[in-house]
Every structure is written in C-alpha cells, then in structure tokens.
Amino acid sequence: MSWKVTNNERSQDQLLVNESLFALGNGFLGVRGNVEEGYGEGMISIRGTYINAYHDETPIEYGEKLHAFPETQQKLVNGIDAQTIYISVNGERFSMSAGTIHSFERTLHMDKGQLIRNVDWESPSGIRMKLMFSRFVSMTTKELFMQQVEIEPEEEADIVITAEVNGSVTNFSDPGDPRVASGHAERLHVTDCRAEGRSLLVTDETYETKLEMHVHSMSEVSAPADRTTEIKDGRAAEHYSLKTGERIVFTRWNVFTDTYRHGESLQERAENIIRKCGSFDEEAAKQQAYLTRFWEEAGLKIEGDDSLQQGLRFHLYHLLQSAGKDGVSNIPAKGLSGEGYEGHYFWDTEIYMLPFFQMTQPEIALQLIKYRYSLLGAAKDRAREVGHEKGALFPWRTITGGECSAFFPAGTAQYHISADIAYSFIQYYLVTGDISFVDEYMLEVLTEVSRLWMDMGHYKGGTFRIDDVTGPDEYTCIVNNNYYTNVMARHSLQWAVKSWELIGGDAATAWKEKLQLEEGELAAWQEAADRMYLPYNEEHGIHAQDDTFLQKKVWDLENTPDEKFPLLLNYHPLTLYRYQVCKQADTVLGHFLLEEGVDEEVMRRSYDYYEKVTTHDSSLSYCIFSMMAARLGDTEKAYDYFIKTARLDIDNTHKNTKDGLHLANMGGTWLALVYGFAGLRVDENGLRFRPVLPKAWESMAFRIRYQGRFLEVELGQDQITYRLLDGEDLSIDHFETSVTVQAGKEVHASYQT
Ligand code: BGC
C-alpha cells in the first residue's frame, strides 16, 4: 500500500484537495489532478496546467507607493488546458455526478508515476460501462502529458469520445485569502487555434510578458471510428464516433512547448517531439524505469509504519515532480500543483528542499543552484534600488529575479534569504567537494552577499550589528539584530573569506580584477564575522530572537480559540508584532543550521522557550522542531512533530492544500528523517551522524551521495549500519568517534545511551 495514495472522497472540499494531491508534473510541466470530464453543475474546480516559470506580469496597486517598492508582480500563468475528455454513451455524457456510480477508485501510483481512476458507471438510462482513466506527465520527455481511457460497455452502444484543447483559460483567484492571488485572473489569450491533419494545435500568448505557450495534441482509438473536428471560442476539439459493445482504448499525446525552453519555433519543436513519442505502454515503461532509479537512489525505508512510509514517499515524489531541472526555473512554494503564492520561488528551496536533491540527485541540485546564480545580476540591481552601494540583495519571492513581494515587512526585509542562498552554495561545495564550483559560482555569490552585509551592517560598542530586517518568523518584523540573520550572515562572511583562500593562485587574481576586490575587503569581512553581535539574554539563558523580542508581552496561545488560527488571517500585523508570538521556527532554526560554538544547554533552553510561543502557522515550522528535538535527545517529541510534517497535505491539516502542496514541508520531512533522526550534519570535517530511532519503528534506512560515494545508512533497533555501496573508503563521525567504511562493506555502530 505504501506505493499508492488513494482517495475516493467526493465532497466539494475534498475534490479540490485531491486536485492538488493528485497533481502530476516533472519540474517543467504540472497538471492538477482534475477529472477529465469536469464536475457537475455548481461544483468548483481549480482546473490548472502550469509550465514552471511561465508567467505574466501585473501592476502592483499600492495605496501609498514609496521609494523602491516593486511596481509589478510576476504570476505563474494557468496555461492551455489539454485535460478534457468527454465520453458519451447513446447520447448521455459520462459524469461522476450523473447516473449511478457502482464503484470508484482513484489512485496515484508512485512506483510507476501514473494516476489511475477506475469507475463502474451506469448512465441515467441504464447503460453500464467500465472506465479506466490513466495519465502521466513524462519524466523522460518533459513536454509530454499522456492520457489513456479504456472503455468497456456491457452492451452495444453508440459511443462518442471528445478530446479538447482549451486555450481560453484564466487563473484562479480568491480575494478573501492573501495567500492566493486576487484579481488579474485573465493572463493570456489565444493566438492560434486549429485542427490540422490528425492534430489539434493551440497557441496562447501572455498579455504583458508576451511569452508563448503551445500545445500539440494527437489521439487514437483502438477501433475504427469517425473523426470530426470543431474549432470554437479558443477551443479545438475532436470527436470520435463508433458503435461497439467491446472494450476500446483511447490514447492521447499532448506536447507542451514554451518560449523559454523552445524559443520562437515552439510549434515546430512540438511537432518534432510528438513524432518521436512511443505508444502509451512504451512511454509508461520509460516512466517506470526512471522512477525505479529514483527510488533506488533515495533508498528510503521505514519498517513498522506503512502510513508514514507512504507519506514520505508521497513527499519525495512531489519534490521530484516540482523541481525545475533546466537552470531557468526552480521549485515554486506550491510546486506545480496549484496557484498559491503565484508560482514564486522563496528561501524554501535553499533551506528546506535543496538538501534532499544535493544528497540524492546532485544533477538536479546543480540546476537549482545555477538558477539562483543566474539571478545575481538582478540581485545586485535590487540592492542598488533599495539603497545599497555594494552587494547583492536577492528577492524574497520571484520567478525571474525581480522582487515580487508587495508587503516589504514580511518580504524584502527578509534579508536572510541572501545568507540562505550563500549557505546552500557552501553546503553544495561541502557535499560535492568540487573546487571548480567555488571558482565558477560560489566565490562570486558569497563576495556579493558579504558586500551587502558590510554595506548595511555597522559597528557599535565593538560589535557588528544588522538593523531593520525580518527573520524567518513573519510575526515579528523589522527588528534589529535578528539572531538567525546575524548568525547566517556571519557564516556567509566567514566562507566568503575561505572561498578566496580555497581557489587562490591565478584564479583568485582573475576574480580580483573581475569583482574589483579592494585592499582590505577580506580582512573587513573576517572582522565583521568575528565581531558579529548575537543577542543573548542572561535571564533566560537563551539567544534572543532579536533586540526587543523578549521585552514584549507573551501572546496567550492557550486561550486563543482554534478558529483564530492562522493568526495572520485574523489579526492586524501590528498586533502580532507587538507580542512574543512566532509563526515559525527562527532562533531554533539558527541553532539547527549552525550550532558550532553554541552550548547544548543554551540550545535546549531556547527550544523550550520558543516552542511555547510558536504557533506553527507556517508549514515550515514543524520539521525544524522535530529535528531539534531529535538533536537534543527528545526522540518522542521529535516523532510527534515528524508525524505532523509527514501527513500535512494528505490530511490537509493546514486547510489550504487545495491551493497547492506545501513543498518546503515535504523537503522538511526528509530533513527530519536524515538530519533529525539520523542526526546528519555536513561540515568541513566530513559527515557526522548522531542517530536515534523512534520507538514506533522497527528500522529506517536511506541513501545519500557524498563526494563521489554512495552510502546507505540503516537505523535498526539495536544498531546502526553504515554501508558503502560505491566509492572510495570513507571516514565518518559517529557521535564522537570516527568509523571508516569501505566499498561493498558495512560497519555496525551502537546508539548512545
Ligand atoms: C512562510 C515563509 C515561506 C512562505 C512560502 C510563508 O507562510 O512564513 O517562510 O517562505 O510561506 O512557503
């Protein structure tokens, strides 16, 4: 069962949630899990097809627009809809809300990468037929979305199959929820719509960005049928009519191309791609082979809890489906499963999702990093716009590099994103050991990020301070010396200096000239790092979230009614800012990422303190609390938080899964397993593990790649096994001792009591 996710509920609410849960994608193309024939009258559906980074721009309307507020916002566009297939029997159209459903099942198969819906249906006038709808978005031909319907009538009947490509689509909007875009729903228009030979062809263009998107759709029926076509209102349709009492199979190939990836010849490119596609079975076999490899590489196993195993697989599956793999796109906060957060990329990628890719799919990780690197120019421009003479300020949310946040206190003010990006580059280097990466990408990014800190920070009382920023916790905004920001800034400054040392020689000389490194710049970064101010509160014995957090009144969470959560939808931001109340992990996250030099007791007290004032209104919070509980030895608490991450979307606990999945939380579940329970940390000394196993599990295992090695780690009841599947001998730290594993061999180690 853990390879499958099934949900047969058909209430209005669950239908919308299922559209997200059953979304299919490959990082380029995403298709929500809408049903082919649509729902009955009066039902709401968020029907969506998205191409990663395919966007339009809309003006941001401010009541009062101040200097350097972004003028436009990018928005992922709901693109051409090629999902629709209608089936009529003796003139009655199949629908889940007409006639009688004798049985129904809808299942996502994560081992073969297909969504399958089986229905045993009886039409209102009593004709019964079995239908099986299968679909997948290909992992091997990124432009391809395949559909197949098997139709088995019980008696001879007139059957009409209609396949449609609809170019007249709009985005979804909900003015009542700031997390779903409001207004500006119509973002593209049809420029070409026709039937030609065996194909339906539709091309659309966005209004402002003038980006084109094209669909080339072809289909076939397994029995002789009359085919007619129809073009109307931006829709191209084909109808197949036949009389049969036998099982017939309808197969459909939809190929999507866009300006970004296919340039100006997007129609020609689509035609060439579709010509090379194999049969449904051939393409499905390639899909399965791709996924078999993916699962082998992740090597994920939890013995003793099938539903968690399922939840975990579901998360890794969606991570794979959502990650841009072409260097011009990234991972939207909701993946390609919905329009929440408008398809924007946030720090979610670097801190929550990249580790999974770095350690299991390094090629995809490199593409994600290259995408960020490609924004460096825009980040430098943005820094100037905001008033910095030097450095790069990465946008809080964006698609192509422009800042898209209209609310600067919880947007642009989150300067930590620049440090998070630096952190991810450093981690990539540590995991791969690739010095050419430092030369090609890391040195430049870290240099520009360090220049930003130098430009905005200042010395006071002998310490280096960073004022007026917002940390990860969005319920506390525009503060001085946010602990998380300062500790992350210190790390990026230290590593900027190290990067210059690492590349040295001629490469450093060339970079010096290119980046116009000034005399004394490196020394200044080192000094700022050494003297970075990290607020500490003696009374509580903890690091303060910022200079004033601990002076505020504590929010009475216990007596806040359930319906008031998430607080952001029920209280004015200023009310929230005036209290000690956190949306998500902030200081605790700082301790998780960078614990060096922090006393374990301080981390423990911080954990206990901040846990009491955290609402976890952000889905990015639980996994951090899970990992830190594991780190501090509270395995049961770690487990409780872990459960909350593992089923957040499947059980719709945040109540907004309909707008799309919570991708950062999905990455966070893997983190909680590998960095939490197995206690992995990667630093200059190599890999370190501090494993603990929750009582509820018999064992758990995963695989990671590290500097050319392929390592399997298994946490059993009594012992831990490190197995080197490939690569040169590797020494790792297991708690405080060093163990060496050799290729093809395993080493056993014990838990710490
Ligand atoms: C969180 C941010 C996050 C964003 C996108 C917000 O609710 O507070 O930390 O980056 O969602 O997932």
Please tell me the pTM assigned to this model. 0.97
Q: What's the CATH code of the domain at 241?
A: 2.70.98.40
Looking up tokens 């928005």, which residue turns up?
75
Indicate if ligand 1 lies below 6 Å from the C-beta of 346.
yes
Q: Does residue 165 form part of some domain?
A: yes
**Average pLDDT, stretch 68-87?**
97
- Looking from the CA of residue 334, the nearest atom of ligand 1 is 12
Is pLDDT of 29 > 90? yes
Q: Separation of 618 CA from ligand 1 center, angstroms?
A: 6
Q: Separation of 624 CA from ligand 1 center, angstroms?
A: 14
Indicate if ligand 1 lies below 6 Å from the C-beta of 584.
yes
Chain segment 186-233, per-residue pLDDT in tens: 999 999 999 999 999 999 999 999 999 999 999 999 999 999 999 999
Strand pairing of 686-689 and 681-683? antiparallel
474 is known as an active-site residue: yes
Closest CA to 631 of 690, 586, 583, 684: 690
For residue 427, the model assigns a pLDDT of 98
Chain segment 232-257, per-residue pLDDT in tens: 999 999 999 999 999 999 999 999 99
**Average pLDDT, stretch 473-485?**
98
Tell me how crowded residue 61 is: count the other CB atoms within 10 A of its CB.
Answer: 10
**Average pLDDT, stretch 402-427?**
98
Indicate if ligand 1 lies below 6 Å from the C-beta of 583.
yes
Is pLDDT of 182 > 90? no
Q: Separation of 657 CA from ligand 1 center, angstroms?
A: 14
Residues in the chain: 753
Indicate if ligand 1 lies below 6 Å from the C-beta of 48.
no
For residue 753, the model assigns a pLDDT of 77
For ligand 1, atom 1, name the residue with the nearest CA. 618
Q: Separation of 567 CA from ligand 1 center, angstroms?
A: 14
- Looking from the CA of residue 347, the nearest atom of ligand 1 is 10
Query: CA-to-CA distance for 274 and 56, rounded, in angstroms?
Result: 27
Q: Does residue 503 form part of some domain?
A: no
Chain segment 88-101, per-residue pLDDT in tens: 999 999 999 999 99
For residue 185, the model assigns a pLDDT of 87
Query: CA-to-CA distance for 749 and 268, rounded, in angstroms?
Result: 58
Q: Separation of 163 CA from ligand 1 center, angstroms?
A: 39
Query: CA-to-CA distance for 550 and 408, rounded, in angstroms?
Result: 23
**Average pLDDT, stretch 157-182?**
83
Q: Does residue 688 form part of some domain?
A: no
Indicate if ligand 1 lies below 6 Å from the C-beta of 347.
yes
Contacts of 358 (CB under 8 A, 6+ apart): 365, 427, 428, 431, 432
**Average pLDDT, stretch 141-164?**
98
Indicate if ligand 1 lies below 6 Å from the C-beta of 585.
no
For ligand 1, atom 9, name the residue with the nearest CA. 472
Which of 36, 164, 271, 474 is an active site residue?
474
Contacts of 264 (CB under 8 A, 6+ apart): none
For residue 281, CA distances in Å to 8, 116, 117 come to 26, 14, 17
β-partners of residue 159 are 89, 242
Looking up tokens 């972004």, which residue turns up?
70
**Average pLDDT, stretch 496-524?**
97
The alpha carbon dihedral of 176, 180, 184, 187 has a sign of: negative
Q: Does residue 389 form part of some domain?
A: no
Indicate if ligand 1 lies below 6 Å from the C-beta of 348.
yes
For residue 173, the model assigns a pLDDT of 74
Give me the chain's average pLDDT, please.
Answer: 97
β-partners of residue 255 are 144, 216
For ligand 1, atom 5, name the residue with the nearest CA. 333
For residue 179, the model assigns a pLDDT of 56
β-partners of residue 737 are 734
Q: Does residue 232 form part of some domain?
A: yes
Closest CA to 200 of 209, 208, 190, 210: 190
Residue 53: enclosing H or E segment and its boundaries? none
> How is the beta sheet containing 92-93 ordered, strand by strand?
92-93, 85-89, 157-166, 235-244, 226-232
Find out whether 745 is annotated in a ligand binding site: no
Find out whether 583 is annotated in a ligand binding site: yes
Q: Does residue 312 form part of some domain?
A: no
Contacts of 665 (CB under 8 A, 6+ apart): 315, 352, 619, 620, 622, 623, 645, 648, 649
**Average pLDDT, stretch 146-172?**
97
For residue 176, the model assigns a pLDDT of 64
The alpha carbon dihedral of 332, 311, 653, 358 has a sign of: negative
Find out whether 556 is annotated in a ligand binding site: no
**Average pLDDT, stretch 448-459?**
98
- Looking from the CA of residue 584, the nearest atom of ligand 1 is 8
85-98 burial code (b ≥16 CB/10 A, e <16): bbbbbbebebbbeb
Range of the domain at 236: 4-294
Counting the structural domains of the chain, the total is 1
- Helical H segments across 201-298, by residue range: 259-262, 266-276, 280-298
- Looking from the CA of residue 664, the nearest atom of ligand 1 is 12
Find out whether 347 is annotated in a ligand binding site: yes
Q: Separation of 499 CA from ligand 1 center, angstroms?
A: 30
Indicate if ligand 1 lies below 6 Å from the C-beta of 404.
no
Is pLDDT of 1 > 70? no
For residue 2, the model assigns a pLDDT of 86
Q: Separation of 431 CA from ligand 1 center, angstroms?
A: 26
Q: Label residue 183 by pLDDT band (50, 70, 90).
A: low
Q: Does residue 502 form part of some domain?
A: no
Percent of the chain with pLDDT over 90: 97
- Looking from the CA of residue 474, the nearest atom of ligand 1 is 8
Q: Does residue 62 form part of some domain?
A: yes
